[in-house]
Structure 1
C-alpha cells in the first residue's frame, strides 16, 4: 500500500540537503520498532512541489507532497496514526492531508517507472575494503538493481520471478547524478526512469518498496 501526504506551506527555507530531516521525521512517526534494523520493505519519496528560493534551499508556497509505501500495511497504519497525533515535520511543514494511492494495474509487458527520489546502488568490495557506487552508465547496474529486489522479495515471502529484470531507461535525455548528504555521509544516486520486466506482482512490489539500496533513507521511490 502507498499513501500520499500533503503538507502546509513552509515557514522557513527548506535546505537543499533536507533529506536527513525527512528521514528523521519518518522514523519519529514509526517510533521504536524492529524495522529500523532490517532490510527496508518500504520506501518514501523526496518532497515534491518545491521552488528554489535562493542559494540556501526550497520554498513550498502550496505545501509539499510526498509518497510513502509499505509492503506490510500494519506499519503504514502505525505511521498514519502517528501523523494524526503529531503532524509537525520541519521548517514549518505540517501534514494537512493523507490519501491512499490507488495501486496501478500492471501487465506482463515491460513497463516504465518514473522516480520520486533517485536510485542509489552500492556494493562493498572485499579486495578494496570500500564501497563502490554504480550509475546509469554502468553495465552492472541492471543486474544489481534486479538482485536487490529479488532479495527483498525472498524476505517478503514472494515467489521467485525468473523473468524479473530492472534497467535504466537509456533513451531518457535528462539523466542526472544527485549528490545527497545524510548524517554527514555523501552519496551519489541516479535520477533516471527505469524499465521493469517481470510479473505484475513483482512490479507492484517494486512500486511499493522502491528499487536499489537504502529505500528506507529516501532513495529509490517509484511513481
Structure 2
C-alpha cells in the first residue's frame, strides 16, 4: 500500500527537481542573454570605432590638403599628391551586427554598407589623382621648367601639361573635393544614427562617440562616451 505521505514525498521530490531544472534553465538563459548583450555592445562600438577612423582619415586629408587651397583657382596644381591609401582597410564586420537586422533597425546596417563604399570611393579618387600627379603632372611640369615657390599663370600650366592632362588633373581634383567633403559629413550622420539606435536597444551603456572640432587648429575629432 502507498500511503499519502509517500505520495507527498514523491511529489515534493518531483517539484524540487523541476524547480531546480527550471532555475538552472532561467540562470543559463540570463547568462546567455548577458553574454549576447555584451557581444552586441562590443560589435556596436567596433562599428563606431571604424566610423571614427574613416572620418578621421578623410578629415585629416580635408584639413591638410584641401582647405589651404579650397578657393584657389589653381588648386588642381597646388594640392599635393599623397602616398596611396589602402582602399580595402577599415571595413565593417556586418555579420556581428546581425542583431540590428530587424524591420525597425535594418536601415542602420544598410547605412554602414553605403558609407563603407563612399569611403572607398573617396580613397580611390585621392589615389587616382595622386597617381596621375606623380606619374604625369609633376614630370611634365619639371620638363617645362615649372618650379616650386614661383608664381605661374594658368596659361603656363596649360602649356606645360597640354590641354588633355590639364583638364584631367582638374577633373580629378574636383572629384576628390566632392568625395571627401560629402563623405566626411555623411560618416558623422551615420555615426549619429547608429549611436541613437544602440542607445535605444541597450540604454545606459557606454559607446564611442566623436564630434568634429572646428577649433583649435590641428584638432580633427573629439572623442567621448555616450
* Shorter-normalised TM range: under 0.3
Higher helix proportion: 2
Higher strand proportion: 1
TM-score normalised by structure 2 residue count: 0.21
Q: Which has the larger radius of gyration?
A: 2
TM-score normalised by structure 1 residue count: 0.21
